[in-house]
C-alpha cells in the first residue's frame, strides 16, 4: 500500500508525529481492546450456557475469524508501508477511494461510537463500587478525561495504557490465584444446556446466540493498525503486534474458561455476572482491572478514530476534508479529534447504545471482510507488486471473509442487511460527487484479468457475432477540429454500448502535438456516455495511415467493425477514398460514409429517412438484404432513430404504379422481420430517382447503401455527391461487413 493515496491533498500532510514501536503502538492497544468488559462480566454467562467444551469452541471459532483477518492484515502490511488510516488505507489503495470511503466512514463511526460504549461500561463498573454516584456525571467526567488525554498526545495515551496493562495483569493474577478454585471438587460441566439469561427468565438460547454475545470481545484486532501512519516500522510492527495480541488474548480467554467452570456451578455463572470479582483473591484489583480495561478501550478508540477521519479528509472523501486533515504542530489530528469528541458526546447523551451496539459490530465485520477480500485478490492475481515477506495460503483470507460474513448474519441478520445497505449507499454517494480520483490497483488488475480471461474464452469459440453486434467505430482523424461537425452523429451511432476508436493520422502535424488533442476529444466522448479510446500514428499519407490502422487493429480483441469516413470536399481525394473503402471491405470491416450538406448540415436532427431498394418478386428478405448491401443501413437507421427519438421514414422508389403493391408488401415484411418500431412511416415514390427525390419531403439525414461504380473500381462516389444535391440534405452511406444482420 502506498504511503499517500493518489489525490490526497499535499497541504494536508502532517508534521512528523511521535513514532511508536511494536509494543506501545500495536500490541498494547490491540490487547487492551480485546481484554474488555465481556471478559470480566459476560464470559461466565457464556460458560454457564455452553459448558467447558462449548465455551472453548466459541472462543476458538471467534479467534479463528479474527486470526484469519489479522494474518491477512499482517501479510498486506509486510508487502509495503501502510499510509495513515490503517484498514482504510489498505482498502483505498487496493480497491479505490470510493470503496475505501464507503467502508472507512462506517469504520470510523464504529470506532467513535465504541468509545461511548466503553465509557458506559466503565460507568457500570464504577457504580458497582459507588452506587450513589450520578450515572450522567460519571459518563461526563470519564469523557472529559479520555478526550483530554487523546487531544493532548497519543504518546500520553499509550503511557497511560502501560499502567492499565499492569493493572489488568495484576487482576488476572488475582483471579488465577484465587484460593480453592483449581482444587475445587465440583463437577465440571463439559456441555451446557443453553438455558438463556435472567432477563428472559431463562427461556432458552442456543450456541450461535451465545457466540453472538461473545464475538464483540474480539473485534479489537484493528486497534493497532489504525496507528499505521505513526509507527516507526509498520511492516514489522503491525504483523508482530497484532498477531501477538491475538495469541495472548486467546490464551487468556481459554484459561479463564477453565477457571470459571471450576469457580462456580453453571446456575451461578448464569446469574452472577461478577463471579470473577467475588471469587478472586483480591476483588478490588479485579474491579480496577475492569475499570482500566474499559477506560483503556475508550481511550484507544478515541485515539484511533480521528486517524481514520483525517486520512479520509486528506483524500477529500468527506465535506471540508481539507480543513479536517490539518494537524497540530506535533502532528496530532486535533480537528479530527474534536469532531470525534462531539460525536462521542452526542452518543453519551442518548444514555444508551444498546440499539446500535450490534450495528457497530456489523461495521467492524464489513471491514474485516473487505480486508480479507483484498488479501485474497492480491494473492490470486499474481501481481509483481505483491511480494509480502509473510505469505499466506489463499484459504486463510477466504475463511476470514466467509467467517466474517457468516457472523454478520448470525449476530443479527437485520442489522447485517442495514449495514450492507449503508455501505452501498455511501459508495453511490461518493460516486455521485464525481471529483474523486479513480484509484485502486487491485480493482484495475481484477478488471483487466477478467477481460483477459473473457477474451481467451471467446477466442476459442466459433460463434457468430450477429446477435451480439454493436458498432465499434474506427474514426480516422487528421485534425480533431474537423470532428466537431460529425461529433453528434458519432455519439448517436455508438451510445450507449458501442465504442469509438480515434485513429490520429499525423500527416500535417506531429504525433506529439496530435496526441493531447485526441485525448481531449476522446474524453469528451466519454463524458457524453460513449466509450472512446485513441491512438496516433506517423502517417506518410491518408490512405497509408488508415489502411495500416485497419490492418493492425483487426488483430485486436476489441477490434473496430466499422470504418467511419467523411466525404472529402476535394474530389481529387476520391481515388484515395475508394482505395480505403475497398480495403475495409476486403478486411471484413463495415463502412459508413458521411456526406454533409454544405449548408443544411444535420438541420434539426429530427427527420430521418431510410432509402430501401425495391425487392424483386420471389426473393426472400435475407437474400435481399445481403444482395443490396443493406444490413448495416437498417441497423444504422434504427440506432439513429432511437437517438433522435424520431419515427423512421422508409422510402422506396418504383418505376411505375404496377410495382406499388410489391413495394408495399416489401416494406411491410421489412418492418416485421427487422423489428422496426411500429411508429415507422412508409413512403413510395414513382419515377426515376431524380424525379422521386425532387418530389420527396425534406429530411435532415438520408441513409442509403453504397453502390458500386459502373467501372468496378469501388463505390460510386459521384453518385454519393449527386444524392446530397438531389436530397437537399446530409446523407449517410453504408457498406456491410458481413458480420452484422438486420434480422438477428
| C-alpha cell of residue 193 | 444446556
For residue 528, count other CB atoms closer than 10 A to its CB: 15
Please write the tens of the pLDDT for every residue from 56-67. 999 999 999 999
Averaged pLDDT, 507-511:
68
Please write the tens of the pLDDT for every residue from 323-341. 888 877 777 888 889 999 9
At the second CATH level, the architecture of 596-744 is 3-Layer(aba) Sandwich (3.40)
| C-alpha cell of residue 73 | 492484515
Is residue 353 scored above 70 in pLDDT?
no
More confident residue, 483 or 242: 242
**Tell me, what DSSP letter sits at residue 13?**
P
What per-residue confidence (pLDDT) applies to 13? Answer: 47
- Exposed / middle / buried, residue 476 (Cβ in 10 Å: 0-12, 13-18, 19+): buried
Name the residue with cell 506535533: 330
Q: CA–CA distance from 138 to each of 70, 122, 127, 144 (Å)?
A: 35, 9, 9, 10
What per-residue confidence (pLDDT) applies to 736? Answer: 92
Nearest-angstrom CA–CA distance, 324 and 298: 22
Is residue 432 scored above 50 in pLDDT?
yes
- Altogether, the residues listed in the chain come to a count of 744
What per-residue confidence (pLDDT) applies to 441? Answer: 52
Is residue 465 scored above 80 in pLDDT?
no
Cis peptide before 442 (omega within 30 of 0): no
Share of the chain above pLDDT 90, in %: 19
What per-residue confidence (pLDDT) applies to 85? Answer: 65
Nearest-angstrom CA–CA distance, 81 and 68: 20
What per-residue confidence (pLDDT) applies to 383? Answer: 62
For residue 53, count other CB atoms closer than 10 A to its CB: 15
508 pLDDT band, cuts 50/70/90, is low
Name the residue with cell 483470507: 397
Buried b (16+ CB within 10 A) or exposed e, 359-388: bbbbbbbbbbbbbbbbbbbbbeeeeeebeb
In angstroms, how far is CA 323 from the centroid of its own chain?
Answer: 26
What per-residue confidence (pLDDT) applies to 224? Answer: 73
Please write the tens of the pLDDT for every residue from 540-576. 677 888 888 888 887 666 688 899 999 888 888 888 8
What per-residue confidence (pLDDT) applies to 331? Answer: 74
Q: CA–CA distance from 479 to each of 367, 484, 531, 594, 599 (Å)?
A: 50, 10, 20, 17, 21
Average pLDDT, whole number, for the chain?
83
Averaged pLDDT, 671-681:
90
**Tell me, what DSSP letter sits at residue 42?**
T
What per-residue confidence (pLDDT) applies to 565? Answer: 92
Q: CA–CA distance from 167 to each of 163, 288, 290 (Å)?
A: 6, 7, 9
Nearest-angstrom CA–CA distance, 680 and 647: 5
Angle among Cα 579, 478, 488 to the nearest 5 degrees reads 95
274 pLDDT band, cuts 50/70/90, is confident
Is residue 92 scored above 80 in pLDDT?
no
5 pLDDT band, cuts 50/70/90, is very low
Domain ranges of the chain: 21-433, 466-561, 596-744
Name the residue with cell 477506560: 295
More confident residue, 36 or 432: 36
More confident residue, 508 or 180: 180
| C-alpha cell of residue 543 | 490512405
Nearest-angstrom CA–CA distance, 278 and 264: 10
Classify 21-433 by CATH class: mainly alpha
Nearest-angstrom CA–CA distance, 298 and 33: 8
Share of the chain above pLDDT 70, in %: 88
Query: Could you tell me which of 210, 278, 181, 240 has the C-alpha nearest to residue 48?
Result: 210
83 touches 227 (CB < 8 A): no
Nearest-angstrom CA–CA distance, 260 and 275: 8
For residue 517, count other CB atoms closer than 10 A to its CB: 19
In angstroms, how far is CA 134 from the centroid of its own chain?
Answer: 47
CB-based contacts of 555: which residues, under 8 Å, 6+ apart? none
Q: Give the per-residue SS3 of 556-593.
A: CCCCCCEEEEECCCCHHHHHHHHHHHHHHHHCCCEEEE
What per-residue confidence (pLDDT) applies to 53? Answer: 92
Please write the tens of the pLDDT for every residue from 531-540. 888 888 876 6
Global model pTM greater than 0.75: no
Amino acid at each position: 500500500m502506498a504511503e499517500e493515496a493518489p489525490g490526497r491533498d499535499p497541504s494536508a500532510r502532517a508534521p512528523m508525529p511521535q513514532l511508536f514501536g511494536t509494543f506501545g503502538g500495536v500490541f498494547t492497544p490491540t490487547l487492551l481492546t480485546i481484554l474488555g468488559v465481556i471478559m470480566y462480566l459476560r464470559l461466565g454467562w457464556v460458560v454457564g450456557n455452553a459448558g467447558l467444551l462449548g465455551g472453548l469452541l466459541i472462543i476458538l471459532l471467534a479467534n479463528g475469524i479474527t486470526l484469519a483477518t489479522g494474518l491477512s492484515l499482517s501479510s498486506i502490511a509486510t508487502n509495503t508501508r501502510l499510509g495513515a488510516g490503517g484498514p482504510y488505507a489498505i482498502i483505498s489503495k487496493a480497491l479505490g477511494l470510493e470503496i475505501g470511503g464507503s467502508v472507512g466512514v462506517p469504520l470510523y463511526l464504529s470506532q467513535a461510537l465504541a468509545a461511548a460504549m466503553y465509557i458506559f461500561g466503565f460507568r457500570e463498573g464504577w457504580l458497582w463500587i459507588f452506587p450513589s454516584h450520578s450515572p450522567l456525571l460519571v459518563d461526563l467526567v470519564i469523557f472529559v478525561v479520555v478526550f483530554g488525554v487523546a487531544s493532548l498526545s497519543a504518546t500520553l495515551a499509550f503511557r497511560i495504557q502501560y499502567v492499565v496493562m499492569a493493572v489488568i495483569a495484576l487482576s488476572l493474577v488475582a483471579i488465577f490465584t484465587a484460593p480453592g478454585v483449581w482444587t475445587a471438587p465440583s463437577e465440571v460441566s463439559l456441555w451446557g444446556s443453553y438455558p438463556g439469561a435472567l432477563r428472559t427468565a431463562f427461556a432458552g438460547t442456543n450456541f450461535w446466540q451465545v457466540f453472538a454475545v461473545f464475538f464483540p470481545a474480539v473485534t479489537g484486532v484493528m486497534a493497532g493498525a489504525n496507528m499505521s501512519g505513526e509507527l516507526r516500522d509498520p511492516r514489522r510492527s503491525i504483523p508482530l503486534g497484532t498477531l501477538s495480541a491475538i495469541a495472548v488474548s486467546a490464551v487468556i480467554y481459554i484459561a479463564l474458561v477453565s477457571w470459571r467452570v471450576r469457580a462456580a456451578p453453571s446456575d451461578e455463572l448464569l446469574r452472577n455476572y461478577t463471579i470473577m470479582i467475588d471469587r478472586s483473591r483480591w476483588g478490588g484489583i479485579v474491579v480496577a482491572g475492569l475499570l482500566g480495561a474499559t477506560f483503556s478501550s475508550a481511550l484507544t478508540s478515541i485515539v484511533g478514530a480521528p486517524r481514520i477521519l483525517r486520512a479520509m479528509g486528506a483524500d477529500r472523501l468527506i465535506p471540508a476534508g481539507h480543513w479536517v486533515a490539518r494537524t497540530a504542530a506535533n502532528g496530532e489530528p486535533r480537528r479530527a479529534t474534536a469532531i470525534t469528541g462531539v460525536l462521542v458526546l452526542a452518543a453519551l447523551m442518548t444514555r444508551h447504545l444498546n440499539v446500535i451496539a450490534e450495528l457497530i459490530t456489523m461495521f467492524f465485520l464489513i471491514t474485516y471482510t473487505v480486508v480479507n477480500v483484498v488479501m485474497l485478490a492480491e494473492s490470486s492475481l499474481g501481481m509483481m507488486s505483491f511480494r509480502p515477506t509473510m505469505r499466506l495460503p489463499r484459504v486463510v483470507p477466504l475463511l476470514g471473509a466467509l467467517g466474517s460474513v457468516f457472523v454478520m448474519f448470525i449476530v443479527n441478520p437485520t442489522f447485517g442487511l442495514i449495514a450492507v445497505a449503508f455501505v452501498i449507499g455511501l459508495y453511490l454517494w461518493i460516486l455521485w460527487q464525481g471529483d474523486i480520483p479513480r484509484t485502486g490497483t487491485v480493482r484495475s488488475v481484477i478488471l483487466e484479468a477478467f477481460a483477459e480471461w473473457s477474451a481467451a474464452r471467446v477466442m476459442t469459440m466459433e460463434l457468430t457475432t450477429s446477435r451480439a453486434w454493436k458498432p465499434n467505430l474506427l474514426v480516422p482523424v487528421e485534425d480533431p477540429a474537423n470532428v466537431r461537425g460529425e461529433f453528434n452523429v458519432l455519439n448517436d451511432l455508438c451510445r450507449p454500448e458501442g465504442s469509438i476508436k480515434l485513429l490520429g493520422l499525423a500527416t500535417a502535424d506531429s504525433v506529439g502535438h496530435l496526441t493531447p488533442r485526441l485525448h481531449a476529444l476522446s474524453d469528451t466522448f466519454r463524458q457524453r456516455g460513449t466509450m472512446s479510446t485513441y491512438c496516433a500514428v506517423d502517417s506518410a499519407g491518408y490512405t497509408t495511415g488508415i489502411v495500416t490502422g485497419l490492418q493492425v487493429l483487426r488483430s485486436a480483441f476489441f477490434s473496430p467493425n466499422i470504418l467511419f469516413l467523411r466525404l472529402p470536399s476535394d474530389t481529387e481525394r476520391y481515388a484515395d477514398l475508394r482505395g480505403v473503402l475497398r480495403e475495409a471491405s476486403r478486411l471484413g470491416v463495415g463502412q459508413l460514409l458521411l456526406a454533409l450538406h454544405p449548408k443544411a448540415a444535420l438541420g434539426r436532427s429530427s427527420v430521418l429517412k431510410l432509402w430501401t431498394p425495391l425487392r424483386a418478386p420471389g426473393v426472400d428478405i435475407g437474400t435481399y438484404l445481403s444482395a443490396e448491401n443493406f444490413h448495416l443501413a437498417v441497423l444504422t437507421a434504427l440506432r439513429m432513430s432511437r437517438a433522435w427519438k424520431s419515427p423512421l421514414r422508409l422510402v422506396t422508389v418504383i418505376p411505375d404504379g404496377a410495382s406499388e403493391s410489391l413495394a408495399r408488401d416489401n416494406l411491410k415484411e421489412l418492418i416485421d422481420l427487422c423489428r422496426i418500431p411500429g411508429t415507422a412511416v412508409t413512403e413510395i415514390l414513382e419515377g426515376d430517382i431524380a424525379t422521386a427525390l425532387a418530389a420527396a419531403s425534406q429530411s435532415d439525414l438520408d441513409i442509403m447503401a453504397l453502390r458500386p461504380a459502373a467501372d468496378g473500381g469501388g463505390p460510386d462516389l459521384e453518385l454519393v455527391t449527386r444524392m446530397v444535391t438531389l436530397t437537399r440534405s446530409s446523407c449517410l452511406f453504408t457498406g456491410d461487413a458481413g458480420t452484422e444482420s438486420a434480422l438477428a
